[in-house]
Amino acid sequence: MSESNTGDGTTENSAVRRPADWEADRLRDLASEFGTPLYVVDPDRVRQNCERLLGAFPDATVDYAVKANTARTVLETVEDAGLGAECASAGEVRRALDAGFAPEEVRYTAVNPPAADLDAVVEWWREGADLTVTVGARTTLDALAERGYDGRLCVRVNPEVGAGHHAKVTTGDAPQFGVPFDDATDAASAASEVGEFVGLHAHVGSGVSGDDLSAHEVLVGRMAMLADELDESPEFVSVGGGFGVPYRREDPPLDLDAVADATRAAFDCDARLVVEPGRYVVADAGILLTEVTAVKETAETTVVGVDAGMTTLLRPALYDAYHEVRSLSASIDDRVPTSCLVAGPVCETADVLGEERVLPEPKRGDLLSVGTTGAYGYEMASTYNSRPRPAVVTLDGETVARRETLADLTRLEGGEQS
């Protein structure tokens, strides 16, 4: 199996990094040292993706959608590269501030924010964090006013156009996201009465590429038109992110320059353009390593049991998402290619990482890699089935998150709530 890399586990700054571009020897060493399942993240690749985004959007503000990957190493790399932070929860705001993002570069964009989140964000604002709060409902404005917040406000608008890689992440036309388009002008006026109205925000969906890009262009045009119609012109208009990445080997990389050109062409207004990519920054900067624990021949297929599953990587079970699975075993040249069902250790039919995947004849103890897992991989991991979450390390072998233990699973049980 070829390794199209530079020999030290890094790749040139190409538009996409495929699973085969990771150095197999290095991944085997990390699995041997840290065990499996194991997430590996490459900060150098994160930086390359940030640089590519800044190059494509030189006249815009590029904010990282923190929810894609909140690891401190990732956030510090993104901040150092010059991106801002778009946060979906108080926890993400705290992580961004702790990672070094200047408060004025942080936006809190929550959907139906819990009271505890608003309490925390407003308290940090009182302490001097001059961040921006994005509201998607008039009642959220009321909740902020009740807490004495009169800082920077952005209004999230439902653009009535959506797209994405799955119905569950298509947000632009879903009613829970943003004030109705026809109510946007009144919502902006109401925001000005509570605090300093500074921006508009909308997001078409996640994993947008190919034909879906036309929906993104429509959104950009609608938001630019809205900005020009307001009595008070906003400082910025955020048109979201959602830029797709190729998860399948045969999928072409996103033409980011073409996306940027189309975005600029549709953005006909005087406000500053803001984009909020998340997946594009980190997806191909991460990979998941897992060990084969069982091999079972059935009439339908060869079942390959592995120690990673839906508690490790939820996307296949939740979104029917595709991730390339590759064998990293050192001696596979003499093995017969075999169609396999790669399944995890959870007793649910959904716990499948890949179906009809052709692998060299699998054996117990083989090491497999699951590609393009830097976005929404570890972030969505859980302790369902009382399974500890995996460790996360950098390609250089630095620990990002230690492996949870069985003792960690019960650490919060009992005792008094602080």
9 pLDDT more than 70:
no
66 contact partners, CB below 8 Å, separation of at least 6: 75, 85, 86, 87, 88, 92, 95, 96, 278
For the stretch 123-159, pLDDT in tens is: 999 999 999 999 999 999 999 999 999 999 999 998 7
Three-point CA angle 292, 298, 304, nearest 5°: 10
pLDDT given at position 166: 33
* Percent of residues, the chain, with pLDDT higher than 90: 77
389 pLDDT more than 90:
yes
Q: What is the mean pLDDT of residues 64-85?
A: 98
Strand partners for 132: 107, 152
CA 394 to CA 42: how far, in whole Å? 6
Average per-residue pLDDT for the chain:
90
Model confidence band, residue 271 (pLDDT cutoffs 50, 70, 90):
very high
416 pLDDT more than 70:
no
Q: Which range, 113-117, 205-209, 256-260, 328-332, is most confident?
A: 113-117
Model confidence band, residue 215 (pLDDT cutoffs 50, 70, 90):
confident
335 contact partners, CB below 8 Å, separation of at least 6: 360, 361
Q: What is the mean pLDDT of residues 245-271?
A: 90
pLDDT given at position 391: 98
> 19-41+283-409 falls under which CATH superfamily?
Lyase, Ornithine Decarboxylase; Chain A, domain 1 (2.40.37.10)
Model confidence band, residue 204 (pLDDT cutoffs 50, 70, 90):
confident
Integer angstrom CA distances of residue 396 from 10, 20, 23, 80, 292 = 10, 18, 12, 19, 24
Model confidence band, residue 14 (pLDDT cutoffs 50, 70, 90):
confident
Q: Which residue has the higher pLDDT, 7 or 298?
A: 298
Model confidence band, residue 217 (pLDDT cutoffs 50, 70, 90):
confident
Residue position matching structure tokens 């959007």: 57
Residues present in the chain in total: 418
**Binding residue numbers:** 242, 276-279, 315, 319, 348, 376
Lowest-confidence region among 257-266, 343-352, 380-389 = 257-266
Model confidence band, residue 169 (pLDDT cutoffs 50, 70, 90):
very low
- Given 50, 154, 340, 347, which residue is catalytic? 347
CA 285 to CA 48: how far, in whole Å? 9
CA 7 to CA 9: how far, in whole Å? 6
Q: Which range, 219-233, 309-323, 403-417, is most confident?
A: 309-323
193 pLDDT more than 90:
yes
pLDDT given at position 414: 80
CATH 3.20.20.10 in the chain, residues?
43-282
Identify whether 347 is a catalytic site residue: yes
Q: What is the mean pLDDT of residues 59-70?
A: 97
Q: What share of the chain is helix, strand, coil (3-state, %, to 5)?
A: 35, 20, 45
| Torsion angle defined by CA atoms of residues 149, 150, 154 and 156, in that order, rounded to the nearest 10 degrees | 50
pTM higher than the cut 0.85: yes
Lowest-confidence region among 44-58, 321-335, 352-366 = 321-335
Q: What is the mean pLDDT of residues 386-405?
A: 98
pLDDT given at position 243: 87
CATH of domain 43-282: 3.20.20.10
**Binding residue numbers for substrate:** 279, 315, 319, 348, 376
**Binding residue numbers for pyridoxal 5'-phosphate:** 242, 276-279, 376
pLDDT given at position 207: 45
DSSP sequence for 57-88: -TTSEEEEEGGG---HHHHHHHHHHT-EEEES
* Percent of residues, the chain, with pLDDT higher than 70: 89
296 pLDDT more than 60:
yes
pLDDT given at position 216: 76
CATH 2.40.37.10 in the chain, residues?
19-41+283-409
Lowest-confidence region among 57-61, 68-72, 165-169, 272-276 = 165-169
Model confidence band, residue 232 (pLDDT cutoffs 50, 70, 90):
confident
